[in-house]
Amino acid sequence: MKHTHTPGPWHIGKREILGFFNDDEENQANLNLISAAPDMLEALQMLMPQEPRKADSYDRAMWENARAAIAKAIGKEES
């Protein structure tokens, strides 16, 4: 899948999101990604209670990535 938004990682300053915004298509893709972030966070949070007790390594990695994304979104990521 090709992404047109500015590649991450993005870093948050005191009052700005730091990234490289180059052209109109890229800017629109960035805005789309940013505006979808709350919905994606809510969807991930709704999925977490469905995590199976047993999972293979691929599924386990997927759930770990989901937990890490949630933690990052709410400012609780481990440094």
pLDDT tens series, the chain, 79 aa = 566 666 777 666 555 555 555 567 877 787 788 888 888 999 999 999 988 888 788 788 999 999 999 998 888 876 5
Cross-strand bridge partners of residue 17: 12
Find the helix or strand (DSSP H, E) in which 18 lies: strand 17-18
Cross-strand bridge partners of residue 18: 11
CA-CA-CA-CA dihedral for 33, 27, 22, 70, to nearest 10: -20
Burial (CB < 10 A; 0-12, 13-18, 19+), residue 26, is middle
